[in-house]
């Protein structure tokens, strides 16, 4: 198995950077094979996201008959830990270890949280659904156990992703950080795509026993991927172990980070842009099927179109950032092209049909990739290297919280409009949401303009 893995990694490293745009992030101290192996933690995160939001979402409602409102609550539980990502990143910056490690202990703790959640999740869901062989169990046991499982997985995902990205940036020079971040998020998308295909294949013939096998298989796979990702990645710093840095309170560190000119406005930009791109996440496929009469196969391919646009956006952002582009200018362009994209999606039912809808979806994916990479790089560059975990955590906390709120708000707005009397047009519940997304992007552009006007000198790379 090890020989096969090494052969695959060697072949990937031989691909010219023209066809593998993140290949030039490699260096003598951090070769591409090492970075690709580290990126496996993003694959495990992508697998968890697909299992929660995609596979289990459908299985709980359709096969297990769990009420949709209860499913929505369960899927929202992992967001409870999103605001704590800044604290998690800060703790990894400050961690004291006898081996001098900072990141590895937290990534491993997050991995064990994911494993524990997945280990109990299928049995909890079967009890929650009132499955025949679990009918004697009290209903509250199923609800409490399922809630605990989702909470554990959510805490693990947020911990692993925040600290894993911090470790990735530790391995490269400051000027190479946009590339390594882009590579990590490309692997997240790859993990989501592959996991969706595998889970769909394994659960094609659904049985409760197969559900238990698939979810617990995901638990074991998470351990294996993250262990392989971490192996010999963070060097043991004996000097740090012998002379640990002074203990700093999170409130003091956050005060220093947030006091930098424009930092809070930047976090507002991240929230507005993420909400704009997140609202459509659960509505694009229903809109295509209900309004544009697209088949299931066509709407499924739409996900690939959106992901492909995101990959291109990440690649463009990494390319121009390494050439010296200002991160906020990249984010500005990402927000700007999203406005016509959502307008195109909104008017597709009246004017352009499927072609215009698909084009708007693709452009919104590109815009989301540019905006996400630009704002993440801008956030990292506003913090000294000793606070990189805090900066990544702050970006992740705002981004994950805003995305969760946006997804819920998009569905609620659609349902409220649909319930209004006189709503006869199929597109009526969807168009206001798409136009509201354009409004959020315009608001983000206005805040970015204020950032440039207020503190133009503080938007570049921090010394």
384-422 pLDDT, tens per residue? Answer: 766 777 787 788 888 888 887 887 787 778 778 877 876
99 or 455: which carries more pLDDT confidence? Answer: 99
Window from 273-282, 283-292, 427-436 with minimum mean pLDDT: 283-292
Q: What is the pLDDT of residue 101?
A: 75
Picking from 380, 367, 439, 321, the residue whose alpha carbon sits closest to that of residue 169 is: 380
Q: What is the pLDDT of residue 363?
A: 93
Q: What is the pLDDT of residue 301?
A: 67
Task: Report residue 278 as tokens.
Answer: 């997140």
pTM summary value:
0.71
Alpha-carbon torsion angle 80, 86, 87, 88, nearest 10: 80
Q: What is the pLDDT of residue 300?
A: 58
Length reported for the chain = 463
DSSP states of 87-115: HHHHHHHH---TT--SSHHHHHHHHHHHH
Report the distance separating Cα 332 and Cα 324, nearest Å: 15
pLDDT band at 457 (very low <50, low <70, confident <90, very high): very low
235 or 191: which carries more pLDDT confidence? Answer: 191
Residues 6+ apart with CB under 8 A from 49: 157, 192
CB neighbours of residue 380 within 10 Å: 25
User: Which parts of 254-324 are beta strand (E)?
Assistant: none
Instruction: Please compute the mean of the pLDDT values over residues 195-218 and round it to a whole number.
Output: 81
With beta carbons less than 8 A apart as the criterion, state whether 383 and 259 touch: no
220-262 pLDDT, tens per residue? Answer: 999 999 999 888 877 766 666 566 666 677 777 778 777 777 8
Report the distance separating Cα 415 and Cα 391, nearest Å: 36
pLDDT band at 461 (very low <50, low <70, confident <90, very high): very low
With beta carbons less than 8 A apart as the criterion, state whether 369 and 334 touch: yes
The single residue listed with the structure tokens 């959502």 is: 342
For residue 57, pLDDT over 80 is answered with no
């Amino acid at each position: 198995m090890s020989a096969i893995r090494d052969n695959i990694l060697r072949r990937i490293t031989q691909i010219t950077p023209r066809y593998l745009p993140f290949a030039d992030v490699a260096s003598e101290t951090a070769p591409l094979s090492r970075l690709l192996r580290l990126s496996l933690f993003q694959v495990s995160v992508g697998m968890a996201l697909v299992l929660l939001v995609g596979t289990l979402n459908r299985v709980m409602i359709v096969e297990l008959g769990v009420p949709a409102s209860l499913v929505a609550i369960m899927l929202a539980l992992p967001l409870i830990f999103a605001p704590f990502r800044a604290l998690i990143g800060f703790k990894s910056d400050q961690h004291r270890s006898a081996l001098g490690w900072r990141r590895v202990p937290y990534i491993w703790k997050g991995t064990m949280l994911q494993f524990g959640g997945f280990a109990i999740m299928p049995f909890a869901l079967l009890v929650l659904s009132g499955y025949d062989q679990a009918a004697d169990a009290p209903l509250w046991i199923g609800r409490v156990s399922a809630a605990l499982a989702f909470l554990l997985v959510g805490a693990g995902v947020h911990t692993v992703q925040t600290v894993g990205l911090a470790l990735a940036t530790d391995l490269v020079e400051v000027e190479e950080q946009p590339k390594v971040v882009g590579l990590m998020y490309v692997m997240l998308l790859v993990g989501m795509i592959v996991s969706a295909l595998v889970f769909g294949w394994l659960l094609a013939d659904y049985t409760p026993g197969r559900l238990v096998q698939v979810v617990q298989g995901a638990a074991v796979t998470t351990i294996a991927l993250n262990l392989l990702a971490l192996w010999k990645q963070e060097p043991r710093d004996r000097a740090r172990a012998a002379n640990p840095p002074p203990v700093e309170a999170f409130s003091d560190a956050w005060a220093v980070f947030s006091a930098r000119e424009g930092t809070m406005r930047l976090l507002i930009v991240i929230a507005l842009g993420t909400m704009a791109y997140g609202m459509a996440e659960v509505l694009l496929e229903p809109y295509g099927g209900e309004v544009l009469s697209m088949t299931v196969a066509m709407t499924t391919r739409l996900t690939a179109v959106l992901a492909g646009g995101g990959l291109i956006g990440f690649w463009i952002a990494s390319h121009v950032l390494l050439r010296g582009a200002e991160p906020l200018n990249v984010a500005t362009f990402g927000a700007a092209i999203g406005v016509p994209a959502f307008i195109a999606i909104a008017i597709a039912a009246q004017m352009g049909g499927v072609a215009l809808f698909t084009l708007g979806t693709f452009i919104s994916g590109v815009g989301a990739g540019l905006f996400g990479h630009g704002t993440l790089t801008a956030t990292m560059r506003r913090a000294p290297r000793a606070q990189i975990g805090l900066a990544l955590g702050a970006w992740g906390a705002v981004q994950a919280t805003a995305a969760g709120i946006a997804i819920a708000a998009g569905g609620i707005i659609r349902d409220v409009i649909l319930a209004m009397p006189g709503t006869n047009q199929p597109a009526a519940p969807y168009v206001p949401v798409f136009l509201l997304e354009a409004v959020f992007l315009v608001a983000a552009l206005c805040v970015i303009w204020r950032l440039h006007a207020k503190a133009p000198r503080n938007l570049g790379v921090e010394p």
